[in-house]
Every structure is written in structure tokens, then in C-alpha cells.
Amino acid sequence: MVIVNPSLLTVGLISVALLHANFVMSQYDPEGHKGTTGNIKQVFEGRCWDYDVTRYIPDLPRVTASCEELWKLFFKAFSYQPPCAVALENYQPYLRSATQIVPRDKVLFWSGVFSLAHEYGNYGRRYVTLEDTLIGYLANSITWCGQSIDPGYNVTRCPAWDDCPLEAAESFWAGASMTFAQGAKGEVLLMLDGSNPDKAAYRRNSFFGKFELPNLSKEVTKVSVIVSHALDKPKIDVCGAGSLDLLETDVTERGFSYVCHDDPLAVLHLLCADDPSSRECKLAIKHIRGDLDPSKVDPPAFNKIQEFF
């Protein structure tokens, strides 16, 4: 007997709302105007220890520098400097020490689909994003900026990304993205958001357009693009039109092959897992269910709430 479970349904609906919020979430978004993350040294070094011991991604080379050395190089890049004058080059010694070369055919770039891309990549086990590498892992979710007086970093307020031309965090992510692209080999995957009415799926001034595509190594053969669309929302950008046409031009002009796929099935299932009651996913219900248990193909009182379970 299937008993309707309203509270679990509520939780399901809340998670749908969270998914939509996450859909455009990005590590590139500044978190308002917070100051440098409290206890940043402990957090940075702690995440570094954790990464090495419990978050190790098979096939990624280990970094030989110690966590303490990495912190010193990272801190040196921005500390005791005005927040708006950190050159991209400042991070080079740190980036050189922390770089890991990702195996061929495993690099995943993304734009506008932070959560979905990391889920699809399965946090480095299927594909490797910048945030799965040590460089991105350590910096993701933290905030930092320098100041010329002691303690060398501002604990109360860091500028937003648009407030100055070379804000500390943006120049870090620019350098990190370039380094990540320079190490890519074989086929690379790029996941884009085709449902954002305010931003085209591909933009030349995105991180991918500005720092990754122009720095792709000559060992890259193909750029394989996935355009994902939020369930039950209009499809604004699709393969073969609009900004994806521009992307095809920019990719092929650099000598790489190009393929584009709208909503590959594995990605659709990820979206349906978060929102099984959406219109698209509901159509599949009877067919999945029917195969698993023929007696359930046309259950009596088959209604929307039961479909959640």
C-alpha cells in the first residue's frame, strides 16, 4: 500500500526551490561585501590536509608542496597589498606549486551551472572541474583581500568583483582558470545554462570566454558542449543557434572540433531526481515504473502526490 506522505512532499518541493536557486550559483559570485574569511589560515591549511587524505581524486597527481608552504605562497600573493591592485601574476608562484595535470578527456568547464556541473562530474570521479583540483578546492567558498597595514588582510570588508579592475579574488580565479585550461588534454567538456533570460549560455566575456578558451592547450582536440535547460522553463539558448553559434565559431577558429548536445539524458535524470513532479519527468513515470513492476503501470488513484513516491 502506498501511503501519501505530505511532509516528505514538502521537503521535495523545498529542494526543487533550492535547485533552482543553485542553478545559477557560481563560485565566481562574490558573497556580498564580506571581509576575509575568519581564521583563513586554519581553514586553508585544514582543507589542504583534508583534500590530501580524504578527498583524494584517483588519477590526479599529488602536489608535493606542504600545506604550510602552499598557504605561505597564497598569502604572499595578496597580503599587505591594496585590494584593488593585485596583479594576476602575483598568484603565479602559488599556482605553479599547486597545479595538478588532469588526465586526458576528463576536464569539465562550466558556466552558470555550478551545482549541476559538479553533480554531473560526480565531484571529480567522472569529470574534473577546476573546483575539484587542489587550486580550486582550497579557494572555493572562501573570501579574501589584502590591505597595506597589519595584519595584511581586511577582516571586515572586501570589494565586490566589479568595484575595482583587479580585485584580489577575481585575479586569482582568472589565473587559476588559465592554468586549468593550459593543462587540459584530449576532449574537454563544457556545461552551459540555456535557461537564463539575463545571460546568454556562451558569452565572450565569461570566464570560459576570457580565460579558458583562449588558453586551451594545443593538446586539446575537441570541445564537447552540453547545454542544460531548467525543467518546465523556456529553452532560451539551444545548440546550433544564438550564442552557441558564436561559440562554435570561436572554438573551430582555434582549430578544435566542436559538438553540442542539448540536455543529454544523464543530465536530465539529475534534474528529474531533484524535481520528479515536473511536467517533463512525470511523462516518464509510468514507463519506468511499468518496467520495474507491471502491476503498477496503471495503479488505481494514481495522482500527483503518489507520483512523488
Residues serving a catalytic function are: 131, 207, 212
**Binding flag, residue 273, its own copies (CB under 8 A):** yes
Say how far apart CA 143 and CA 38 lie, in whole Å: 9
Minimum CB separation of residue 82 from its own copies in Å reads 25
Minimum CB separation of residue 148 from its own copies in Å reads 26
Q: Which stretch binds its own copies (CB under 8 A): 84-92, 93-101, 210-218, 279-287?
A: 279-287
Q: Which stretch binds its own copies (CB under 8 A): 45-53, 77-85, 87-95, 149-157?
A: 45-53
Give the cell for residue 243. 550564442
Residue pointed to by grid coordinates 592554468? 179
Say how far apart CA 275 and CA 231 lie, in whole Å: 8
Burial of residue 10, with CB atoms counted within 10 A of its CB: 0-12 exposed, 13-18 middle, 19 or more buried? exposed
Site map (CB under 8 A) of its own copies, residues 191-230, x = contact: ---------------------------------x----x-
Q: Which of 161, 249, 269, 297 binds its own copies (CB under 8 A)?
A: 269
Site map (CB under 8 A) of its own copies, residues 132-151, x = contact: --------xxx---------
Minimum CB separation of residue 228 from its own copies in Å reads 11
Q: Which stretch binds its own copies (CB under 8 A): 11-19, 75-83, 151-159, 166-174?
A: 11-19
Query: Which own/partner pairs from 122-128 qualify as long-range (CB within 8 Å, at least 24 positions apart)?
Result: 124/57, 124/60, 125/57, 125/58, 127/189, 128/57, 128/60, 128/102, 128/103
Say how far apart CA 4 and CA 200 lie, in whole Å: 41
Sheet holding 108-111, edge to edge: 108-111, 186-193, 220-228, 257-262
Strands of 130-248 (E only): list them.
186-193, 220-228
Minimum CB separation of residue 39 from its own copies in Å reads 6
Total residues binding its own copies (CB under 8 A): 71
Say how far apart CA 82 and CA 177 lie, in whole Å: 23
For 22, phi then psi, to 5°, come to -70, -20
Q: Which stretch binds its own copies (CB under 8 A): 3-11, 92-100, 202-210, 242-250?
A: 3-11
Residue 121 DSSP label = T
Check: CB of residue 209 under 8 Å from CB of residue 249: no
**Binding flag, residue 304, its own copies (CB under 8 A):** no
Q: Give the rounded distance of the alpha carbon of 43 from its chain centre.
A: 21
**Binding flag, residue 38, its own copies (CB under 8 A):** yes
Residues 70-109 that bind its own copies (CB under 8 A): 105-106
Say how far apart CA 96 and CA 284 lie, in whole Å: 48
Query: Which residue blocks in 54-140 are alpha helix, DSSP H?
Result: 67-78, 92-98, 114-120, 134-139
Minimum CB separation of residue 150 from its own copies in Å reads 22
Q: Which of 122, 148, 249, 252 binds its own copies (CB under 8 A)?
A: 122
Site map (CB under 8 A) of its own copies, residues 149-188, x = contact: -------------------------------------xx-
Q: Which stretch binds its own copies (CB under 8 A): 13-21, 78-86, 168-176, 212-220?
A: 13-21
Q: Which of 32, 54, 197, 234 binds its own copies (CB under 8 A)?
A: 54
